[in-house]
Amino acid sequence: MKRIIDALAEAEVFEIRWFGGEFTSLRGWQEAVAYAFDKGFFMAFVSNGTLMTRESARFLSSCGVTGGAMSLHGPEKMHDQVVDVPGAFGKTIAGIRNCWEEDIGVTALFTPTQMNLHSLYDLARWLKENEVPITEIDIGRLCPSGEAVDGWDKRRLSLVDYRYLFQVMREVQRDFGLHAYMGDAFPLCALPYKDWGLVTGCWQGTGFGQISYTGELKSCSILGGSYGNILEIPLTEIWTERLKIMRSLDYLPRQCRLCPHFCGGGCSASRAGVTHYAPDEFIPKPEEESVLTLARRVPGLLNFYVRSTIDRWKTQRGNGQNAKPLPPLSAKPRLNCQFRIRQDLDGFIGFFKNRGILTFDETSARIFQLIDGRRSVEDIIVAIAGVEPSLDGLIRETVLTFLDSINRGEFLTFSD
């Protein structure tokens, strides 16, 4: 495990998300987490929570963990039935509360099946009524993997089932103030425009990968196969060379490659019998594509153009009121989250804890490094002028535009 963590550190990976199986059932997991913490990794976890004692949560917190996810597949009776372990629900709820007491926010993970499909609303109500401190509900996609492969045609959720779930997500938000969303990818063109904002998407093979305890790298935890072993081949080589197949997008139908709302073609793991990249089960394979499959998407896309134009128009009108102007140049900006920046193949990339990933150019990377809470905006402009003479005449505007954009993205706080 330590060799794997060393290899990840060498490749300048930003974050480790402990997954599984169940990482808390691994003997010595604390040693692995502490080792990764000493190497400077940001960390999060996915767990069933049944072994998450107050001590374990305190330990994770001491290693800088501020967020994780725990699976909950319905209210008590349903959850215990889905995981087939009596008493599991109570233990997971206790695990969530233990985390909260140690300043770790937990997202509930709900995997819908034909068994629990209609339990999402009741779960949210139970959580609300019992004041369980979860931060949000992430609805996953049931995929033909593991036990779900058996009789997949009977188990799988239909598009109608998913549309129903999107409706429930909205009701959960409305009735309980709990943000519920599709945490996986979903083909946007298979959904009405009003649901698009509820789809998170997926960054398999671009934003994250899965490493097994033996060092095998997969792009997605559910898909089988391997792109190579990071104990034998440098991770950067696997990432930049072997994943080129995926970046070619050849596995997607033409409609996706030309799509102005590219969503990645949905979830590869949703399609039965697939080990690597594939189009979502709700869109055609390249060889199945025809005028008919394209025509089926036209109403949804037309709907999108009309609605998005109206929304853009409304936002533009609202912008005047919601603008977040930069304070005077004497104010000292500070990033409001922990972050790390490194050079990437093309420009720079930054990981911003609990916020996500941004890519940017060299000047922006320099500006980020100068935002330290001690320098004022004016100091930053002067410092950039010293190292970027090529920007002559544009320095002030470049710095101000950049600060303005990340300020509107809520990345900055200012002091006098």
Ligand X SMILES: C[S@@+](CC[C@H](N)C(=O)[O-])C[C@H]1O[C@@H](n2cnc3c(N)ncnc32)[C@H](O)[C@@H]1O
CB-based contact 268:280 (threshold 8 Å): yes
- Work out whether the CA dihedral 18, 20, 22, 24 comes out positive or negative: negative
Pick 116 or 363: Cβ nearer ligand X: 116
User: Among residues 6, 15, 22, 379, which is the contact residue for ligand X, using CB under 6 A?
Assistant: 22
Binding-site size for ligand SF4 (CB under 6 A) equals 12
Side chain identity, residue 284: P
Q: Give the residue closest to ligand SF4 by C-beta.
A: 259
Residue 265 interface partner, choices ligand SF4, ligand X, none, CB cut-off 5-8 Å depending on type: ligand SF4
Site for ligand X in 55-114 (CB under 6 A): 71, 109, 111
Among 178, 180, 182, 222, binds ligand X (CB under 6 A): 222
220 is an interface residue for ligand X by CB under 6 A? no
Minimum distance from residue 65 beta carbon to ligand X (Å): 15
Q: Is 146 among the residues that bind ligand X (CB under 6 A)?
A: yes
Q: Are 325 and 289 in contact (CB under 8 A)?
A: no
Residue 261 C-beta: closest distance to ligand SF4, Å: 5
Q: How does strand 105-110 pair with strand 67-71?
A: parallel
Residue 262 lies near ligand SF4 (rule: CB under 6 A): yes
The answer for residues whose C-beta is within 8 angstroms of residue 407's C-beta and 6 or more apart is 324, 326, 333
Find the shortest distance in angstroms from Cβ 306 to ligand SF4.
16
Cβ of residue 71: shortest distance to ligand X, in angstroms? 4
Total interface residues for ligand X by CB under 6 A: 16
Nearest approach, Cβ of residue 297 and ligand SF4 (Å): 6
* Bridge partners, residue 45, by sequence: 18, 68
Residues paired with 23 in a beta bridge: none
Binding site for ligand X (CB under 6 A): 19-20, 22, 46-48, 71, 109, 111, 140, 142-143, 145-146, 148, 222
